[in-house]
Chains A and B, each alone.
Chain A
Amino acid sequence: MPWWRYLWAPGLATSGQVELALVVGTTVAVVSAVVGFFVVVRAQAFLGHALSDMGATGAAGAALVGVQALWGFLAGGLAAGLTVEAGSERAHDRDLATGVTLSFTLGLSALFLQLITQDTSHAGVTQAILFGSIFTVAPSIEPAMIALGLAAIALVAVLFRPLLFASLTPETARARGVPVRLVGILFLLAVVTAVEQSALVVGALLSTALLVGPAAAASRLTDRPGAAIAVAVVIAVGAVWLGVGLAYDSYLWPPAGRGWPVSFLVTAVVFLVYVATRLGRRAPTGGADPTEAV
């Protein structure tokens, strides 16, 4: 077998499974990168990650009462997100409010999983929630997740200017009459929508990787918000395509015939890009670089 077959396995461009994975993955990548830019600027990576675990708890609850997982994800994320918001009147409280809410939600998850399986070994469910798989997406979920993704992007587009103002210089924005708290809550809705639609199809792991990684890398490369969002989208989509392609190829890699998990491959690509931008030159002026120490 020629060496390049390891990188371009037979059928890669024609497989229907790969096509669906690419459509779903591209949607998640674009939405995560756009919303992720503001998550990075506002230093809300913890909340962004926590929402995926919180949504999964909602999904376990939904399974318990026989409701569709999608609604469970949304309801769980919304309830937990608003709890965190209510618990962080002072900026200093936010980290703890997120932490305690996340710990309680994870505990609730343990309870729901026990009730679902009536068994101590719920390894399969845990694995599915954490790691998901872009290759096992049901085609019927595609329209709903694309609609949710568009809704999240539309919300960010409407909020764009006040959100940017309130995120970069909250004190000045408040003085100029921007309703900072309200903008924050509306942005939370966008984050919940974006995170839950991605966590549902690709799992908590990839959801967080695509939300935080591309946007963090992009904000090291440019100071201009529009350019940073565009670069983040390119990185996220590129990582998903590369990861899906490599995962398809990996059935030819050792250990034979097992295939490497796509979540690992996409995450590894994102991580490498992030580390590369950290090692590279600092952002031109450094002043507005949100990843720099303050």
Chain B
Amino acid sequence: MGAWWGAAFPPGLFTYAFMVNAWLAGTAIAIAAALVGFFVVLRGQSFMAHAIPQSAFAGAAAAVLLGLNPLAGMAVGSGAIALGIALLGRGRGEGIATAMVLVLGLGMGNLFLTMAGVYAPEVFGLLFGQLVGISAAEVREIAVLALVLLGAFAFAARPLLFASAMPQTAAARGRSPAAMRIVFALLVALTATLTVPVVGALLAFSLMVAPAAAAAQVARSPAAAMAAGVAIALLSVWMSIVIAYDTNLPIGFVVSAVCALGYVTARTWRRMRDRRPGALAGAAAAGA
């Protein structure tokens, strides 16, 4: 057993300071992204989960140009982009609004980088990301932001669930769909601010979409879907850290591959379950 164990979990995986930070940051981010991901999947808003982290780098680029804190720039940028999408888009027009705000954000990011005239690898690092090389100070920042996000989530989850699952009833009861769109978009923006500076836009997107999507295939209630999403995200991130450490593959690739595999497995499992006789009730519950 010794040889196999030593190959999969080589020395330093749990003891090097940078690996400890990667474990801590990865765990916090997985939980936050999977929770918000529940609503991304329920509302069918993968595009927003892609667009907000990716174009939010415009804020960081502007901050670099003005000599300000990139994290603050990121927060302001992603908030502005989220509001833009929520205000411009509704119904079928939402995809168009998301695309337009995304390209404007990317274009402005490109403009700010050109104006600053700097070769800014740290800004481009925001796109593909890294999990190693996180400092202890950044882990503390992430922990604080994750707590803020959890607080906001606890506050918003009930009305948002109501508005997302039963839009007509919610509107009839006086809950403004526009307000709920803004709340949801700001949750995604907060998750982007939390995750992108550390792991990049790609990982933020993967973790917000795939684990929750896999959970939705197998879970039969909102609470179960949230719990399953968090469990799948944690498992994916932990597995990916080990694989990336062992093989030296880029973490963005490993996480997205593991997450995609999880989703495909869950969908296959659902299809097989649906084919079984007498499985109609379960399928209806899962599909709802």
Contacts and interface: CB of A to CB of B under 8 A. Distances in A.
B249 interface: yes
Given A46-B46, A103-B210, A113-B128, A96 B100 contact: no
A274 interface: yes
A107 B117 contact: no
A82 to B, nearest CB: 15
Nearest to A95: B44
A106 B202 contact: yes
Nearest to B51: A49
Interface stretch (B2-10, B18-26, B74-82, B86-94): B86-94
7 contacts: A49-B102, A99-B213, A100-B209, A100-B263, A103-B256, A212-B96, A258-B115
Nearest to B112: A264
B248 to A, nearest CB: 9
Contacts of B95: 43-46
Given A100-B209, A100-B259, A264-B107, A46 B100 contact: no
A123 B124 contact: yes
The interface size bin for chain A is: 35 or more
A126 to B, nearest CB: 5
Nearest to B113: A127
A212 B94 CA distance: 12
B92 A263 contact: no
Interface in A219-247: none
Contacts of A44: 95
A61 B217 CA distance: 32
A208 interface: yes
Given A100-B213, A103-B259, A261-B114, A49 B106 contact: no
Interface in A248-281: 255, 258-261, 263-264, 267-268, 270-271, 274-275, 278
B260 interface: yes
Interface string A23-67: 000000000000000001001111011100000000000000000
A110 B128 contact: yes
A109 B124 CA distance: 14
B115 A264 contact: no
B159 to A, nearest CB: 20
A126 B96 contact: no
B30 interface: no
Contact of B111 (A114, A264, A270, A274): A264
Given A130-B127, A212-B103, 17 more contacts: A50-B50, A96-B46, A99-B213, A107-B255, A111-B253, A121-B121, A123-B119, A123-B121, A126-B128, A130-B110, A204-B106, A209-B107, A264-B108, A268-B107, A271-B103, A293-B92, A293-B93
A111 B251 CA distance: 9
B99 interface: yes
Contacts of B124: 121-123, 126-127
B107 A49 contact: no
Nearest to A254: B115
A255 to B, nearest CB: 6
Contacts of B93: 216, 290-293
A110 B205 CA distance: 14
Nearest to A111: B253
The residue among A103, A267, A294 with the most chain B CB atoms within 10 A of its own CB is A103
Contact of A99 (B46, B119, B130): B46
Nearest to A267: B107
B96 A107 contact: no
Given A123-B119, A258-B115, A107 B110 contact: no
A161 interface: no
B209 A40 contact: no
B224 interface: no
Contacts of A92: 44, 287
Contacts of A8: none
A121 to B, nearest CB: 5
A102 interface: yes
Contacts of B106: 130-131, 204-205, 267
A55 to B, nearest CB: 16
B27 interface: no
Contacts of B50: 46, 50, 99, 102-103
B250 interface: yes
A36 B103 CA distance: 15
The residue among B47, B107, B111 with the most chain A CB atoms within 10 A of its own CB is B107
Contacts of A213: 99-100, 103
Contacts of A258: 114-115, 117
Contacts of A100: 46, 209-210, 213, 259-260, 263-264
Nearest to A207: B103
A46 B99 contact: yes
Contacts of A268: 104, 107
Contacts of A261: 107, 110-111, 114
A111 B46 CA distance: 22
Contact of A107 (B91, B127, B130, B252): B252
A180 interface: no
B206 interface: yes
B117 A255 contact: yes
A101 B111 CA distance: 29
Contacts of B90: 293
Contacts of B267: 87
A106 B107 contact: no
